[in-house]
Chain A
Amino acid sequence: MINTVCRLVSSRLFEEVYVDVDTQDKVIVRPKYLSICHADQRYYQGKRSAQTLSKKLPMALIHEAIGEVVKDFTNTFKPGDMVVMIPNTPYEIDDLVSENYLESSKFRSSDLDGFMEDYVIIDSNRLIKIPEFINPKVASFTEFVSVSVHAIKRFNEIANSRRDTIGIWGDGNLGYITALILKFLMPKSKIYIFGVHQDKLNLFSFVDGVYLVDDVPSDLRINHAIECVGGLGSQDAINQIIDLIKPEGTICLLGVSEYKVPINTRDVLSKGLHVFGVSRSGREDFLDVFKLYKKYPKLLTYLENLVGDVIIVNSLNDVDNAFNKDSNLRFGKTIMFWDK
């Protein structure tokens, strides 16, 4: 079938291309709500290295999206079913390594075209039907939530059981979602947020304490930490965590940095810390997100606070408009309603 794909050709320049795609044993999904991620913004604004841009582009962006099943050649779904699309695409099964860490896996909007397409032609196991009680705008960033869920699951397996205080570094969307889920899953732990913007920290009304990173009480210590900063702030955040964390604590790294980050390994050694990283998520994590929404419906009301501008996209100009608005957004998610 001929499919129209909206690819980023170079910084701030989209182009529509037509691809002849095989639909055999696939599901045809019409994208509906697409949520913009920082990773998409970095491509859009040309903030990746020249080498990366020349290797990856042209490519369709967006890896957080939901859509409506148009036709299913596998008979798994019915036309009209609303589904979330999983961007990670594994090509093998490994007993030990999760699908999102397999070197052979490909990720939409990084290794493959993302979801900015007329139709998404996709394997049925990369789709999950969205329960009806979930607001589609919130459902559009399920992938984003699934990364936090994945991180917390890993954290739960790795961190020791002394969890009186857990610190989260980062006052952005990722910090918000991670803190929120942690608060519901580990209600006995005190959750502290460390950030640099007082106005954003004020939005974390559900946690036990918020701190500006340059104004932390001298006696404050934490058992474990999750870093959701990334970028140029990674170095300061990780080193502050190493300073404040108690011995044998666990540090989970979630923030993506373009640069290599020097950290205080002397104290990592002397405190016997566990440092581990997480990236992306897999099908199981998406399923766990929907289980969480069912168990804690209040989560959804908090997540609705993250819905920022919802921009109706009829043209490539509207896509530019959405990305430009998103780049000025201080908090929350910009969502495109795909109507082009």
Chain B
Amino acid sequence: MIFAAILAGGNGTRMGNTEKPKQFLQLGSKPIIIHTIEKFYINEAFEKVIVLTPKEWINHTNNLIKKYIPDADNVVVIEGGTLRNDTIMAAISYIEDNYDLSDDDIILTHDSVRPFVTYRIIEENIKAAEEYGACDTVIPATDTIVESKDAKFVSNIPRRDMIYQGQTPQSFKILKLKELYNKLTDSEKEILTDACKIFLLKNEKISLVKGDLTNIKITYAYDLRVANAILDVL
């Protein structure tokens, strides 16, 4: 079985404040999160598309799905966790509660604010996770990356031809991911900003899937302007 987890957690801003979480902002004719869900729910390969949001946004997310993609009966909205990896573990708990998992079952985890993900990227994630157990979607870095440990002086300049920028999806064999996560110490869990790092910390291979320059993450107001600028409405 193949599952998709759309990660829409992280921003618990309440309705009524001027700022809505970015995944609910309008892009073209629909909210960003709906565009993203559409890329997964049309694909028969997915047993279930699990959307994870803060608790207070579950109803709103369900209402949007009902409004824009009423036939999306393979989509479920559940509560995410506080941190990214807690959210992924919430998805895994949901899957374990509702399905009998085997070692080969995989999960694609994807940012809800990357609506430009393509068919190829999704398909290659499925193949790579099935073959290698874990994969990360990346593009070669175009800017030189500079490391600074004290935020004052440069401590390292890695070779740019070996540096990539991470995107999503990140995909894993579900039971393996859970097993490795549970082996992490609390201090290891604290420094995790990325699900692939769970595999890396435990010396497991993570294969690379070629991403796309336009598979952008809509994080800032500027990104939304870019996203709306590159989107034609037919």
Contact = CB atoms under 8 A, between A and B. Distances in A.
Interface of A: 1-2, 4, 16-23, 28, 30, 70-71, 73, 79-80, 118-119, 314, 339-340
B29 A20 contact: yes
A131 to B, nearest CB: 22
A80 B119 contact: no
A216 to B, nearest CB: 52
B119 A18 contact: no
- Give the interface residue-count category, chain B: 20 to 34
A339 B124 CA distance: 10
Nearest to B45: A79
Interface string B112-130: 0001101110000000000
B173 interface: no
Given A18-B231, A19-B232, A79 B28 contact: no
B42 interface: yes
Given A1-B39, A71-B44, A20 B233 contact: yes
B42 A70 contact: yes
B93 interface: no
Interface in B11-57: 27-30, 35, 38-39, 42-44
B126 to A, nearest CB: 14
Given A1-B38, A2-B35, A73-B71, 6 more contacts: A2-B231, A19-B232, A19-B233, A20-B28, A23-B42, A80-B44
B162 interface: no
6 contacts: A2-B231, A16-B214, A18-B116, A20-B30, A70-B44, A118-B120
Given A2-B231, A118-B118, A18 B38 contact: no
B110 to A, nearest CB: 14
Nearest to B42: A71
Contacts of B119: 30, 70, 118-119
A71 B40 CA distance: 11
B60 to A, nearest CB: 21
B35 A1 contact: yes
Nearest to A21: B234
Nearest to A19: B232
Contacts, number: 62
A340 B234 contact: no
B230 interface: yes
A71 B73 CA distance: 13
Contacts of B43: 70-71
A340 to B, nearest CB: 6
A22 B234 contact: yes
A300 B232 CA distance: 41
What are the 5 A-B residue pairs with the smallest beta carbon separation, nearest first?
A20-B28, A79-B44, A71-B42, A19-B232, A1-B38
A118 B44 CA distance: 16
In this complex, the member of B71, B232, B233 whose beta carbon has the largest number of chain A beta carbons within 10 angstroms is B232
Contacts of A22: 29, 234
Contacts of B29: 20, 22
A72 B27 CA distance: 24
A2 B115 contact: yes
B23 to A, nearest CB: 14
A20 B42 contact: no
B39 A4 contact: no
Contacts of A19: 231-234
A16 B232 CA distance: 11
Nearest to B115: A2
Contact of A18 (B30, B71, B120, B232): B232
B193 to A, nearest CB: 27
A30 B38 CA distance: 15
A76 to B, nearest CB: 15
Contacts of A30: 119
A340 B119 CA distance: 8
A70 B71 CA distance: 15
Interface string B200-234: 00000000001000100000000000000011111
A79 B42 CA distance: 9
A339 B118 CA distance: 11
Contacts of B71: 73
Contacts of A119: 119
A201 B230 CA distance: 49
A14 to B, nearest CB: 14
Contacts of A2: 27-28, 35, 38-39, 115-116, 231
